[in-house]
A and B are shown apart, each in its own frame.
Chain A
Amino acid sequence: MVNPLTPVLTKRWTEPRSWTIETYERTGGYTALPKALKAHPDQLIQQCKDSGLRGRGGAGFPTGMKWGFIPQGDGKPHYLVINADEGEPGTCKDIPLMMADPHSLIEGVIITSYAIRANFAAIYVRGEVLHCIRRLNAAVKDAYAKGYLGKDILGSGFDLDVVIHAGAGAYICGEETALLDSLEGRRGQPRLKPPFPATSGLYASPTVVNNVETIASVPFIVNGGADWFREMGRDRSPGPKIYSLSGHVTNPGQYEAPMGTTLRQLLDMAGGMKDGIPLKFWTPGGSSTPLFTAEHLDVPLDFEGAAEAGSMLGTTALQIFNETVSVPWAVMKWTEFYKHESCGKCTPCREGTYWLVQILQRMVAGNGTASDIDTLLDVCDNILGRSFCALGDGAVSPITSGIKYFKDEFLALCDQNSKVLAGANA
């Protein structure tokens, strides 16, 4: 039986000076790299496919399959880009990982680059996390000094350069094609897909873009094997996952548990709801994933479980709100965020989020009208699936799910004529 918590990525965090190369090597770090470099790159891709590892940045795309999409023998340079632009509201797993154990990411980067035949990798970190950037830079420097980076790594003939790239404050750059544009020194605006980054990514060359937690898992998979990884979690969503509990919970923090763990189990380990005030609503994976309520305490939190219950696993950022919080207010705050972060490239998202904020602010100020809920849902309908990238889809999630579960609260903000809102039955 697998334990309720399975510290793999977080295990080293409790070591003194966990971020140093000395600690990393003393606790088994850089042992996967020499093994990987002796294998054929295609064996590493196959192992990653066999492990069932899925992207930890929100979408859950199978990682090995993504690596396999890179055309080989095409004569073009290949690139690995790490998406460390963590900014989805509620999400706070990659930042502590990079602060506490930057070398696990670096070792994962080297192995992945070898697998996809990339000789240049960039770690795109959001600019607001200076301490992470500092530790990552030091880790890269130390890895060069030890011969883990640079020319002819460990005598394998494989060369790799890694750069730590600080972003400059733009949530949209967490979208992989916006991130690539930003890394190319442009405004961070998403690209039309196809072509996908696998064929036309950084500098129009084949590129893998992966999340921090995903790539930090790679050295463990190389050392433990695919079957070991699959001992944790569920069949289609295997492995351990860092669940980030925040908000009205007694002991918020990072809990690394097998995929498919429920909020009830996590809350139990986290000391329950703060001050015993009951749970009202929560996000399973950041504000872009539709809200859950107390009815969803036993939903297995993996990609399938969250989807079957009408939401998404996202980044396993569990923002927990008790009965004292107004849903329309929370939804308004999130909508203000999406409006601020909309890059402006496509009309539905740029204009839609602007109008959504206007309506919600008016409602929360007590000046709602009978038609507001209809209008909100209508605007949402014109954003969802009609925007350039997933930011627009994410922006409507709190609104539509908030109205779905807490319509009475929205109605209470509207005027006396609220009975005419027959159409607003989302």
Chain B
Amino acid sequence: MTQAAENTTFDQSTVDRAQAIIARYPQSRSALLPMLHLVQSVEGYVSQDGIRFCAGQLDLSEAEVSAVATFYTMYKRRPCGEHLVSVCTNTLCAALGGDDIYSTLKSHLGVGHEETAGEPGTPGSITLEHAECLAACDLGPVLQVNYEFYDNQTPDKALELVKALQNGEKPAPTRGAPLTDFKQAELQLAGFFEGRDADLDGPSAAPETLRGAQIAKDRGWDAPNMPANAEFPALPEKK
């Protein structure tokens, strides 16, 4: 641990956080995925330094950490922009316009999948990617910026959003917390939310989400009433 603390990229507070992640689990290696998110919150991607840092914290070989870091889509092996824009191009979103959204952004930014427009990490820089199903199909086509949801998109809306991001603005997501940047999102994915309680109030209940519950309410439909005192079954006899 002390060895990692000497590393200039990862300061003592990052080491402390890495140790806090390890403490969450019965076995230390389970901390690897969140720790790689932590690395991205510092570096904006997973560098070889980041690999070494995790290996040192968890007493794993660099090869073992690399094998994991290269398996998962969310770990970026090249520096990311201030913002990561992920456009769902799976079948359903694509049929509703997701492919058009992605190609519009691609030509506007002049980049392809997992490429960055602008100097990575600088204000207004944007990494673009096409994403697999983002589990918001009733709100499709969707895209995410730093993993916050922008629902019911069109090529025009998405283009306007990306231009605003390039200008240093942070348009609010449809569902999610006020926009920060990729690194802050990665810190939260690592499980650190200090001082960000207000993020919890970011909207989540889209009309689509509530559709069925609202119809039921309006029409007076409910599940059957529960009995006043539901009994547990008798204790089964030991076999």
Contacts and interface: CB of A to CB of B under 8 A. Distances in A.
Interface stretch (A162-170, A192-200, A346-354): A162-170
A131 B75 contact: no
A168 B72 contact: yes
Q: Is the interface of A mostly helix, strand, loop or mixed?
A: mixed
A387 interface: no
B75 A89 contact: no
A18 B230 contact: no
Contacts of B133: 87-91, 171, 337
B83 to A, nearest CB: 13
A6 B224 contact: yes
A333 B96 CA distance: 13
A69 B202 CA distance: 41
Contact of B209 (A42, A45, A231, A253): A253
A14 B215 CA distance: 11
Given A224-B226, A231-B224, A253-B138, A5 B216 contact: yes
Nearest to B149: A131
Interface string B88-107: 01111011100000000000
Nearest to A119: B26
Given A47-B233, A128-B131, A251 B211 contact: yes
Contact of B73 (A3, A164, A170): A170
A225 B26 contact: no
A341 interface: yes
A47 B232 contact: yes
A166 B37 contact: yes
Contacts of A290: none
Interface string A174-206: 000000001111111000000000000001000
A103 interface: no
A1 to B, nearest CB: 10
Contact of A89 (B74, B91, B227, B230): B91
Interface string A353-397: 000000000000000000000000000000000000000000000
Contact of B222 (A3, A14, A45): A3
A319 interface: yes
Contacts of A4: 221
A185 B30 contact: yes
A247 B221 contact: no
B231 interface: yes
A305 to B, nearest CB: 20
A2 interface: yes
Interface in B195-225: 197, 199-202, 204-205, 207-217, 219, 221-224
Contact of A225 (B34, B137, B227): B227
B30 A184 contact: yes
Interface in B74-120: 74-75, 86, 89-92, 94-96
Interface string B165-191: 000000000011100000001001111
A16 B195 CA distance: 23
A344 B107 CA distance: 32
Interface stretch (A145-153, A238-246, A293-301): A238-246
Interface stretch (B5-13, B140-148, B153-161): B140-148
Given A10-B212, A133-B188, A185-B33, A334 B91 contact: yes
A254 B209 contact: yes
A247 B137 contact: yes
A341 B236 contact: no
B230 A203 contact: no
A39 B226 contact: no
B29 interface: yes
B227 A228 contact: yes
A225 B175 contact: no
Interface residues of B, number: 84
B51 to A, nearest CB: 14
Given A130-B189, A253-B212, A287 B91 contact: yes
B58 interface: yes
Interface in A209-262: 220, 222-228, 231-232, 240, 242-248, 251-257
A80 to B, nearest CB: 13
A319 B33 contact: no
A347 B103 CA distance: 33
A131 B193 CA distance: 12
A244 B211 CA distance: 10
Interface in B51-80: 58, 67-68, 71-75
A126 interface: yes
B31 interface: yes
B86 A128 contact: yes
A89 B90 contact: yes
A90 B234 CA distance: 41
A11 B86 CA distance: 31
Contacts of A333: 89-91, 94
Nearest to B213: A10
A321 B91 CA distance: 10
Interface in A316-338: 317, 319, 321, 325, 330, 333-334, 337
A99 interface: yes
Nearest to A186: B68
Contacts of A95: 135-136
Contacts of B199: 134
A246 B140 contact: yes
A92, A130, A134 interface centre (most CB from chain B within 10 Å): A130
B67 A187 contact: yes
Contacts of A89: 90-92, 132-133, 137
Given A11-B223, A163-B24, 10 more contacts: A2-B223, A6-B222, A91-B137, A128-B74, A130-B147, A170-B71, A183-B30, A231-B224, A254-B209, A333-B91
Closest CB pairs A-B (n = 6):
A253-B211, A225-B230, A169-B73, A185-B32, A255-B212, A168-B72
